Structure 1
Amino acid sequence: MTAQKGKDLLIKLDASGEGSFTTMAGLRTRALAFNARAVDVTHAESAGRWRELLEGAGVRSAGITGRGIFKDAASDAAVRQIFFDGAIRNWQVVIPDFGTVQGPFQITALEFSGEHDGEVSFDLALESAGEISFAAS
């Protein structure tokens, strides 16, 4: 994979639940993180008292974060409503020349900030709420 433009990393929301994804407008920074909790099965007879982990047993999760400015009233309103409803919706992260990650996420944080001589911005955090799929591009 060669160098890619950060603006081409897209976060998309299926606000209606009908499979129609809309790019979140106004995002300046975006990130996707995968996590896996290890299951420690170390015991008194572990070789050299080194930790042992149980393969394939941990809980996997994904998190999405973004920061941006208000640009599109429809997507802004959808995110706000989904947060206040505590709803879980399908989201996509499109990684250029790599693939698309898709699955159910819940908005776990929605923050607003602004400086007296600047624009109002928002921060968004989502946590996976089910199985995540990956499709290579």
Structure 2
Amino acid sequence: MTAQKGKDLLIKIADGAGYATVAGLRTRRLAFNAETVDITHAESANRWRELLDGAGVKRASLSGRGLFKDAASDALMRQTFFDGAVKTYQVVIPDFGTVQGSFQITSLEFAGEHNGEVTYDVAMESAGEVTFAAA
């Protein structure tokens, strides 16, 4: 496989008619995390930590940073944040597949320099099962 263009990694939000690409993003990030359940005990081999297979909470985090374009997807993201709603999102990873699941926006920030453009940062946390479909 060859290297992929970062601009082709897309975050999409369900808009009622399908999925809309979140506008203006220059950077995007998807992270998966899992907690461990430590089951180490006095008889663990040489006191090495033991972990319980398949236990613990899994979660996914989405984040992005970009230009505020005042597009329809910007309005949908703002309203989703203010409503505290959980929406379905897709993350398209080029030549790899699509990650899909319910997420809640946990942070939405806007910034602007006097002689620059308005930018925004968004962060989301999974709110249910996240699935993967290979490309």
Output the TM-score relative to the length of structure 1. Answer: 0.95
Match of 2:12 in 1: 12
Give CA-to-partner distance per residue, 1:13-58, whole Å, 9 cap, x none: 0033x5x101011000001000010100011111111100000001
Match of 1:42 in 2: 40
Q: Distance in 1 between matches of 2:80 and 2:23?
A: 16
Deviation at 1:71, TM superposition (A): 2.0
2:102 aligns with one of 101, 104, 107: 104
Give CA-to-partner distance per residue, 1:64-95, whole Å, 9 cap, x none: 00001122421111100000100000000000
Q: Distance in 2 between matches of 1:9 and 1:72?
A: 21
SS at match of 1:94: strand
SS at match of 2:63: strand
Match of 2:129 in 1: 131
Find out whether 1:71 has 2:69 as its counterpart. yes
Structure 1 outlier segments of 4+, above 3 Å: none
SS at match of 1:40: coil
Could you tell me whether the CA contact under 8 Å between 1:32 and 1:64 is conserved in 2?
yes
The AA in structure 2 aligned to 1:51 is R
Q: Distance in 2 between matches of 1:84 and 1:116?
A: 27
SS at match of 2:128: coil
Match of 1:117 in 2: 115
What is the number of residues matched between the two proteins? 135
Give percent identity, aligned residues only: 71
The AA in structure 1 aligned to 2:11 is I
Q: Distance in 1 between matches of 2:107 and 2:84?
A: 11
SS at match of 2:129: coil
Match of 2:51 in 1: 53
